[in-house]
Amino acid sequence: MLKESFLEYLSYERRYSEHTVCSYGLDLSKFEEYLKGVDEDLDLIHVDADLVRGWVVSLMEQGYTSTSVNRKLSSLRSFYRYLLRKEYDSGGSDAKGYWS
C-alpha cells in the first residue's frame, strides 16, 4: 500500500513520466525481494543502513554498474523521504537519518 501510494504521488503530484514511475516501482520491488531473502519478516518500513549497504554490495556483485546502483538508491531515497513527509515512518526505521 505504501509503495503504491508513493508511485501515485510520483505520477500525479510530481508528474514523473510513466517510465520513471515504473522504474522506481521496479527498484522498490527488487529491494523488497532482497529484504525477504535476508529475513522473511522484513518490509520496506523496518530497514536500517546496514541492509541498504548489503543490497548495494549485492547489486555490485550481480554486475550492476555504479550508475544503475545510484539510480536504485535514488529511488529508495525518494521513497523514504516521501514516507517521512507523510509521517508513515512508525519509528521502527533506523535508516531515518540516512535518508534525511
Inter-helix orientation angle 66-86/49-61, to 10°: 150
Grid coordinates representing 28 are 522498490
Number of other residues whose CB lies within 10 A of the CB of residue 24: 23
What value does the mean pLDDT of the chain take?
89
Rounded to two decimals, what is the model's pTM? Answer: 0.82
pLDDT in tens, 35-60: 999 999 998 888 999 999 999 999 99
Q: Candidates 1.10.150.130, 3.40.50.2000, 2.40.110.20, 3.90.580.10; correct CATH number of 2-88?
A: 1.10.150.130
